[in-house]
Amino acid sequence: MRLLPRTRLLPLYLAGICLGTLATPARVEANQRIRFQVADDADAMLTDLRVEMVRLGEVRVVRLVDDGSVDGDMPWDGVYVGEDAGDYARYVDVRLIARESGGPDQVLVAAVVNTDDENLVDLGWRIVRPPDASLKARRAAVAWPGFRMAAVEGLHLIAAFGWGFLVIAYVGMAVRARRT
């Protein structure tokens, strides 16, 4: 069985791979979606987690949930998700506010963040509890819903290592096959 077509058809074959990738949708959405993903790495008993944001001068409140009711959220996985859609904004003023069971509101983050993409922006944080016992949130690269962030952030690197071993082994065998 041939792995690839004959050499003269190779450019067409490779161009086909490229065109296949181009066929993925790249339309402009009517609204810019800003998706918040917050991983509760502190295992806090959160009764409320919300984002208060100022988007183009307008104050909005986004409740983050982990019960699967928001599109893209996997229930009870420890990653709270919420989404806001509206006119395109290049930056938003964000406050991440959490309340533990029986406790007061705690502002975990207060910052202006970039939201450059006009279709979908993912903003991620990781809630941790330092030794002083008050909750904090650290900015993190985006989580895929349903997974803890640390594992997902390294996923591409792990895949690259796997690919690298495959290529090196293949080239080694090819060189050996040439010699024999």
Where on the chain is the footprint of another protein (CB under 8 A)?
2-4, 7-8, 10-11, 14-15, 17-19, 21-22, 24, 26, 28, 54, 56-57, 87-93, 110-114, 116-119, 139-142, 152-154, 156-157, 159-161, 163-164, 167-168, 170-175, 177-178
Nearer to another protein, 63 or 139 (CB): 139
CB nearer to another protein: pick between 7 and 101 = 7
In degrees, rounded to 5, the angle at the alpha carbon of residue 98 between the alpha carbons of residues 122 and 112 is 45
**C-alpha to C-alpha distance for 139 and 128, rounded to whole angstroms:** 11
Find the shortest distance in angstroms from Cβ 104 to another protein: 19
How many Cα atoms are found within 13 Å in the side-chain-facing hemisphere of 34? 24
Helix (H, G, I), strand (E, B) or coil at 63: strand
d(CA 67, CA 55): 26
Nearer to another protein, 45 or 56 (CB): 56
DSSP 25-86: --PPPSSEEEEEEEEETT---EEEEEEEEEETTEEEEEE-BSSS-STTPPTTSSEEEEEEEE
* Least distance between another protein and beta carbon 101 (Å): 28
Smallest gap from residue 142 Cβ to another protein (A): 6
Which lies closer to another protein via its Cβ, residue 67 or residue 116?
A: 116
CB of 151 vs another protein, minimal distance in Å: 11
Closest contact distance (angstroms) between CB of 44 and another protein is 23
Nearest to another protein of 102, 176 (CB atom): 176
Distances 79 to 6, 71, 144, 177 between C-alpha atoms, Å: 49, 13, 9, 49
